[in-house]
Amino acid sequence: LRYKNLSWKIVVNVPLDEVSKFADKNLLQTVGLVFVLVFTLIGSAFYVFRSKRAKILLEEEGKRLKEQIALQEKVRETEEHYKSVVDNSPDAILIVCEGKIVFVNPAAIELVGATSPEDLVGKTAIQFVHSDDKQFVSNKLYEALTGGITSDKIEGRFIKMDGSIISVEVVGSQTTFNGKPSFQSIISDITEKKKVDLEREVLYEITEGITTTHNLNELLKLIHHSLGKVIYAENCFIALYDRKTKLFNFPFFIDKFDPQPPPMAMKKSCTSYIFKTGKPLLLTQEKFDQLVEQDLVVLVGTNSPSWIGVPLLTPTETIGVLVLQNYETENIYSESDLQLLSSVGNQIALAIERKSIEEAFKNERLLLRTVINNIPDSIYCKDTESRKTLANLADINNSGAKSEEEILGKTDFDIFPKELAEGFFADDQQVIQTGVPVLDREEYVLNEKGQKEWLLTSKLPLKDEAGKIIGIVGIGRNITNRKRAEEALSNERTLLRTIIDLIPDAIYAKDSKGRKILANPKEVYLCGKENEKELLGKTDSDLHPDDKKKGFLEEDERILHSGDSILNIEGELIDKDGQLHWLLGSKVPLRDASGKIIGVVGVNHDITERKLQEKALAKTNEKLSKTVAEKDKFFSIIAHDLRSPFNGFLQFTELMMDEIESFSTEEIIEFSKNMHQSAANLYKLIENLLEWAQMQRGTICFDPNEISVNDMVSQGISTIQQRAEQKGIAISSDLTESFMVYADEKMVNAVFRNLLSNSVKFSSKEGKIIVKAKKLSNQMLEVSISDTGVGMTEKTLNKLFKMNEKVGSKGTDGEPSTGLGLLLCKEFVEKQGGTIWVESEVGKGSTFYFTLPIIKPETK
CATH code of the domain covering residue 771: 3.30.565.10
Across 39-61, average pLDDT: 64
The last residue of a domain, from among 189, 206, 226: 189
The Cα 803–Cα 283 span in angstroms is 20
> CA angle 558-564-570, nearest 5°?
75
Q: How many domains does the structure of the chain reveal? A: 6
Higher pLDDT, 693 or 299: 299
Confidence band of 708 (pLDDT split at 50, 70, 90): very high
pLDDT at 51 (0 to 100):
60
pLDDT digits (tens, 9 = 90+) for 211-248: 777 777 888 888 888 888 888 889 999 999 998 899 99
Which residues, at least 6 apart from 412, have a Cβ–Cβ distance to it below 8 Å? 386, 420, 421, 424, 425
Q: What percent of the chain is predicted at pLDDT more than 90?
A: 22
Phi, psi for residue 790 in degrees, rounded to 5: -75, -20
Whether the per-residue pLDDT at 27 is higher than 70: the answer is: no
Which residues, at least 6 apart from 526, have a Cβ–Cβ distance to it below 8 Å? 506, 573, 575, 581, 583, 604
- The DSSP letter of residue 638 is I
Q: Any idea of the CA torsion for 121, 124, 130, 132, to the nearest 10 degrees? A: 170
Closest CA to 602 of 546, 574, 560, 651: 560
CATH, residue 584: 3.30.450.20
Contact in structure between 783 and 851 (CB atoms under 8 Å): yes
**Dihedral sign (CA 190, 191, 195, 198):** positive
The Cα 686–Cα 704 span in angstroms is 24
**Dihedral sign (CA 214, 552, 505, 519):** negative
Question: Can you name the residues that pair with 188 across neighbouring β-strands?
Answer: 169
pLDDT at 6 (0 to 100):
47
Whether residue 680 lies inside any domain: the answer is: no
Whether residue 171 lies inside any domain: the answer is: yes
The Cα 340–Cα 204 span in angstroms is 12
Confidence band of 640 (pLDDT split at 50, 70, 90): very low
Contact in structure between 182 and 176 (CB atoms under 8 Å): yes
Helices (H), 399-537: 412-415, 418-434, 482-502, 521-526, 532-535
Half-sphere exposure of 267 (CA within 13 A, CB side): 1
Contact in structure between 325 and 306 (CB atoms under 8 Å): yes
Confidence band of 784 (pLDDT split at 50, 70, 90): very high
Higher pLDDT, 669 or 689: 669
The last residue of a domain, from among 605, 631, 649: 605
Question: Kind and range of the H or E element at 336?
Answer: helix 335-374
Whether the per-residue pLDDT at 709 is higher than 90: the answer is: yes
Closest CA to 582 of 505, 521, 514: 505
Across 128-154, average pLDDT: 72
Q: 745 with 813, same domain?
A: yes
Q: What percent of the chain is predicted at pLDDT more than 70?
A: 81
pLDDT at 309 (0 to 100):
93
Whether residue 331 lies inside any domain: the answer is: yes
Q: 712 with 574, same domain?
A: no
Whether residue 165 lies inside any domain: the answer is: yes
Q: 849 with 752, same domain?
A: yes
Q: 76 with 22, same domain?
A: yes
pLDDT at 697 (0 to 100):
61
Which residues, at least 6 apart from 392, have a Cβ–Cβ distance to it below 8 Å? 372, 373, 374, 375, 378, 379, 380
Whether residue 625 lies inside any domain: the answer is: no
Classify strands 597-606 and 580-591 as parallel, antiparallel or unpaired.
antiparallel
Q: 69 with 117, same domain?
A: no
Q: 246 with 333, same domain?
A: yes
Whether the per-residue pLDDT at 483 is higher than 60: the answer is: no
Question: Can you name the residues that pair with 782 across neighbouring β-strands?
Answer: 774, 851
Q: 455 with 559, same domain?
A: no
pLDDT at 573 (0 to 100):
83
Confidence band of 1 (pLDDT split at 50, 70, 90): very low
Whether residue 637 lies inside any domain: the answer is: no
- The DSSP letter of residue 259 is P
Q: 227 with 142, same domain?
A: no
Higher pLDDT, 29 or 819: 819
Q: 412 with 425, same domain?
A: yes
- The DSSP letter of residue 832 is T
> CA angle 406-411-414, nearest 5°?
70
pLDDT at 729 (0 to 100):
92
Closest CA to 376 of 496, 481, 495: 481
Across 671-687, average pLDDT: 66
Contact in structure between 413 and 387 (CB atoms under 8 Å): no
pLDDT at 173 (0 to 100):
78
Query: What is the Cα 648 distance to its own chain's centre?
Result: 50
b/e for 369-399, b at 16 or more Cβ within 10 A? eeebeebebbbbbbbbebbbbbbbbbbbbbb
Whether the per-residue pLDDT at 642 is higher than 70: the answer is: no
pLDDT digits (tens, 9 = 90+) for 258-289: 899 899 887 888 999 999 999 999 988 888 88
Q: Any idea of the CA torsion for 812, 813, 815, 819, to the nearest 10 degrees? A: 0
pLDDT at 238 (0 to 100):
92
pLDDT digits (tens, 9 = 90+) for 810-855: 888 877 676 777 888 898 899 899 999 999 999 899 999 999 999 7
Q: Please, which contacts does 439-447 make with residues 24 or more away whose CB atoms are closer than 8 Å?
A: 440/482, 442/479, 443/476, 444/420, 445/398, 445/399, 445/416, 445/420, 445/476, 446/416, 446/417, 446/420, 447/397, 447/398, 447/400
C-alpha distances out from residue 670 to 342, 653, 664, 673, 683, Å: 60, 13, 10, 5, 20
Whether residue 318 lies inside any domain: the answer is: yes
pLDDT at 60 (0 to 100):
75
Q: How many helices (H) and strands (E) does the chain have?
A: 24, 29
CATH, residue 320: 3.30.450.40
Query: What is the Cα 572 distance to its own chain's centre?
Result: 20
- The DSSP letter of residue 476 is E
> CA angle 186-192-194, nearest 5°?
85
Whether residue 829 lies inside any domain: the answer is: yes
- The identity of residue 437, as a single letter, is P
pLDDT at 481 (0 to 100):
47
Q: Is 210 exposed, middle or buried (0-12, 13-18, 19+ CB in 10 A)?
A: buried
Whether the per-residue pLDDT at 652 is higher than 70: the answer is: no
The Cα 93–Cα 85 span in angstroms is 11
Confidence band of 561 (pLDDT split at 50, 70, 90): very high
Q: 348 with 469, same domain?
A: no
Question: pTM (2 decimals)?
Answer: 0.36
The Cα 314–Cα 345 span in angstroms is 10
pLDDT digits (tens, 9 = 90+) for 352-395: 888 777 877 888 878 877 887 888 888 899 999 999 999 998 88
pLDDT at 682 (0 to 100):
65
Question: Within 10 A of 730 (CB to CB), how many other CB atoms are there?
Answer: 13
Q: Is 253 exposed, middle or buried (0-12, 13-18, 19+ CB in 10 A)?
A: middle
What is the C-alpha radius of gyration for the chain, rounded to an integer number of angstroms?
Answer: 47
The Cα 95–Cα 103 span in angstroms is 5
Q: 132 with 271, same domain?
A: no
The last residue of a domain, from among 458, 483, 500: 500
Confidence band of 644 (pLDDT split at 50, 70, 90): low
Whether the per-residue pLDDT at 707 is higher than 90: the answer is: yes
Classify strands 180-189 and 92-97 as parallel, antiparallel or unpaired.
antiparallel
The Cα 534–Cα 511 span in angstroms is 16
Contact in structure between 148 and 176 (CB atoms under 8 Å): no
The Cα 587–Cα 566 span in angstroms is 5
SS3 at position 526: helix
Whether the per-residue pLDDT at 618 is higher than 80: the answer is: yes
Whether the per-residue pLDDT at 637 is higher than 70: the answer is: no
The Cα 455–Cα 458 span in angstroms is 9
Low-confidence winner among 29-38, 223-232, 703-712, 718-727 (lowest mean pLDDT): 29-38
Name the average pLDDT for the chain: 81
Q: Is 58 left (phi over 0), alpha (psi -120 to 50) or beta?
A: alpha
Phi, psi for residue 26 in degrees, rounded to 5: -130, 65
Domain residues for the domain of 825 are 701-860
The total number of residues shown for the chain amounts to: 860
Question: Within 10 A of 164 (CB to CB), how many other CB atoms are there?
Answer: 11
pLDDT at 147 (0 to 100):
63
Whether the per-residue pLDDT at 4 is higher than 50: the answer is: no
pLDDT at 49 (0 to 100):
56
The Cα 142–Cα 138 span in angstroms is 6
Contact in structure between 644 and 651 (CB atoms under 8 Å): no
pLDDT at 192 (0 to 100):
75
Closest CA to 297 of 625, 255, 621, 307: 307
Which among 135-139, 297-301, 354-358, 623-627 has the top mean pLDDT?
A: 297-301
Contact in structure between 307 and 285 (CB atoms under 8 Å): no
Classify strands 780-787 and 768-775 as parallel, antiparallel or unpaired.
antiparallel
SS3 at position 696: helix
Q: 350 with 404, same domain?
A: no
Whether the per-residue pLDDT at 752 is higher than 60: the answer is: yes
Question: Can you name the residues that pair with 591 across neighbouring β-strands?
Answer: 597
